[in-house]
């Protein structure tokens, strides 16, 4: 029997009136940081709270904006994350915090005002160690809106609970998450060797320690995706490569849905090989005809992409629908190819370079 299949342990409750520590790793987020911070400071709480910003070396004026925000509100605490890696920054922020409930937030996210209060009520009600809700992606530009539609579609990211689930219950992982500090200390905080997928890996250890990870669809977080095609592809390649690394480490501890994009990549590779053999006459006759079966999964995939782009989730205008049809394969193929590389070679020091500002990109 796997550890996570044991009867769940109730996470420690916190004393009445105990405060909340929000932790946010930040790198080159000048365009998003203010609204993210304001959404944290506007949380409807009747207990003390603090927001710890773990500042990586930014080049776009993020540090100056963070200092301005901290000077205006003494609930904001600034700490340095010279390594720039997300799990390292999260751990630095958690250790700098002083309250028994930890809320992970992202500079690309905005919390609804009642988010934390409701999550804390759910923690108490079900005895969970970590509670998360729905990621509701949104966009400001046509491209970003197309990415958001892909995020919000089951076709985009595989239909995980926090991408639109409606049924409350135990979950494999949690988006961002509202967590008990005592449990984090027990299982060892975030694994700083995992550059992407660090939340899934942490939640795996929480579940293996016998605690519940809980999905509550009444909780909602707005997420702003990457705003350019190259950044989106780099983000998904890095994420896919780290998922491949996590498969190397944990095998079938990973959900089956993570294997769909790499299977698509392998299907395309098989179709290319068969196509070359058919064109050169090496695969001819009955054998060549039989080999044509490799095209069927790709035809089905194209039909699904077109149906998603033309459906309600694809937007209202033809430009929106075209962008959606282009974004979906970008996400799947970048993630899938990264996964294959990660399984074969490991992730090593792969980082998400989409978080870095291109040198030739002017500041807005």
Task: Tell me which DSSP letter residue 114 carries.
Answer: T
Token pair for 250: 């944990």
Residue 164 resides in a domain: yes
Three-class DSSP category at 219: strand
- Please tell me whether residues 308 and 258 are part of one structural domain: yes
pLDDT, average across residues 144-172 = 79
**318 and 219, same structural domain?**
no
Q: Is residue 194 part of a domain?
A: yes
- Structural domains of the chain, count: 2
Q: Quick one: 116 and 261 in the same domain? A: no
b/e string for 197-227 if b means 16 or more Cβ within 10 A?
bbbbbbbbbbbbbbbbbbbbeebbbbbbbbb
pLDDT above 80: residue 243: yes
108 vs 35: CA distance, rounded Å:
9
Structure confidence at residue 4 as a pLDDT band (50, 70, 90) = very low
Q: Report whether pLDDT(252) > 70.
A: no
198 and 342: one domain? no
Q: Which of 173, 191, 225 is the last residue of a domain?
A: 225
Whole-structure pTM value: 0.88
| Per-residue pLDDT tens over the stretch 173-187 | 999 999 999 999 999
Residue 308 and residue 207 share a domain: no
Task: Report the sign of the C-alpha dihedral through residues 306, 311, 312, 313, in that order.
Answer: negative
In a domain, 95, yes or no: yes
Q: What is the pLDDT of residue 123?
A: 96
Return the bridge partners of 26, or none. 55
Cα separation of 274 and 288, whole Å?
Answer: 8
Rounded CA-CA distance 146/143 in Å is: 5
Asked, for residue 326, whether it belongs to a domain, the answer is yes
Q: What is the mean pLDDT of the chain?
A: 89
Could you tell me if 264 and 210 lie in one domain? Answer: no
255 and 221 in a single domain? The answer is no
pLDDT digits (tens, 9 = 90+) for 81-110: 999 999 999 999 999 999 999 999 999 999
Residue 265 dihedral angles phi and psi, to the nearest 5°: -60, -45
Burial class of residue 87 (count of CB atoms within 10 Å of its CB; 0-12, 13-18, 19+): buried
In a domain, 283, yes or no: yes
**Nearest in space to 131 (alpha carbons), one of 144, 117, 110, 142:** 117
Measured distance CA(341)–CA(269) in Å, rounded: 14
pLDDT (mean) for 211-236:
94
Question: Do residues 175 and 315 both lie within one domain?
Answer: no
Contact between 55 and 93 under an 8 Å Cβ cutoff? The reply is: no
User: How much is the average pLDDT of 177-201?
Assistant: 95
In a domain? residue 233 = no
Residue 212 shares a structural domain with residue 257: no
| Radius of gyration over every alpha carbon of the chain, rounded to an integer in angstroms | 22
One domain, residues 67 and 129: yes
Is 267 among the domain residues?
yes
**Is residue 363 very low, low, confident or very high in pLDDT (cuts 50, 70, 90)?**
very low
- Would you state the pLDDT for residue 316? 65
DSSP-based three-state secondary structure for 352? coil
Helical packing angle, 86-96 and 198-208, nearest 10°: 60
Structure tokens at 326: 């282009």
Range of the domain at 207: 3-225
Q: What is the mean pLDDT of residues 45-69?
A: 96
Query: Of 209, 225, 241, which marks where a domain is finished?
Result: 225
Any idea which residue has 């809106």 for tokens?
Answer: 145
With bands split at pLDDT 50, 70 and 90, how would you rate the model's confidence at 117?
Answer: very high
Q: What is the DSSP letter of 252?
A: G
pLDDT of residue 364: 30
CA dist 304 → 144, 153, 154, 300, 310 (Å): 21, 12, 11, 6, 10
Whether 39 and 180 map to the same domain: the answer is yes
Determine the Cα–Cα distance for residues 171 and 242; give it in Å rounded to an integer: 21
pLDDT tens digit sequence for 255-297: 677 788 999 999 999 999 998 988 888 877 777 777 889 999 9
């Amino acid at each position: 029997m796997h550890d996570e299949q044991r009867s769940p342990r109730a996470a420690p409750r916190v004393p009445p009136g105990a405060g909340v520590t929000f932790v946010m790793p930040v790198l080159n987020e000048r365009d998003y940081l203010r609204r993210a911070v304001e959404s944290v400071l506007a949380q409807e709480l009747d207990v003390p709270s603090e927001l710890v910003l773990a500042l990586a070396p930014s080049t776009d004026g993020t540090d100056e904006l963070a200092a301005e925000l901290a000077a205006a509100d003494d609930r904001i605490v600034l700490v340095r994350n010279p390594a720039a890696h997300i799990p390292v920054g999260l751990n630095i922020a958690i250790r700098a915090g002083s309250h028994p409930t930890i809320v992970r937030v992202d500079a690309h996210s905005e919390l609804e005002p009642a988010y934390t209060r409701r999550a804390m009520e759910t923690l108490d009600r079900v005895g969970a160690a970590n509670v998360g809700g729905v990621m509701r992606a949104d966009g400001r530009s046509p491209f970003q809106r197309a990415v958001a539609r892909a995020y919000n579609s089951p076709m985009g990211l595989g239909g995980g609970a926090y991408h639109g689930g409606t049924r409350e219950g135990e979950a494999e992982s949690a988006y961002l998450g509202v967590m008990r500090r005592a449990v984090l200390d027990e299982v060892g905080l975030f694994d700083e060797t995992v550059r992407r997928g660090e939340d899934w890996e942490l939640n795996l250890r929480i579940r293996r320690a016998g605690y519940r990870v809980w999905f509550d669809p009444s909780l909602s977080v707005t997420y702003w995706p990457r705003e350019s095609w190259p950044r989106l592809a780099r983000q998904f390649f890095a994420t896919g490569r780290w998922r491949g690394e996590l498969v190397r480490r944990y095998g079938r501890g990973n959900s089956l849905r993570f294997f769909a994009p790499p299977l698509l990549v392998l299907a395309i590779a098989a179709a290319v090989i068969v196509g070359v053999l058919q064109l050169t006459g090496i695969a001819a006759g009955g054998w060549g005809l039989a080999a044509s079966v490799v095209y069927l999964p790709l035809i089905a995939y194209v039909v699904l992409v077109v149906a998603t782009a033309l459906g309600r989730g694809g937007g209202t205008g033809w430009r929106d629908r075209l962008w959606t049809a282009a974004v979906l394969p970008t996400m799947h193929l970048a993630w899938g190819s990264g996964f294959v590389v990660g399984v074969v070679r490991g992730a090593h020091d792969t980082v998400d370079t989409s978080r870095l500002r291109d040198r030739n990109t002017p500041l807005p």
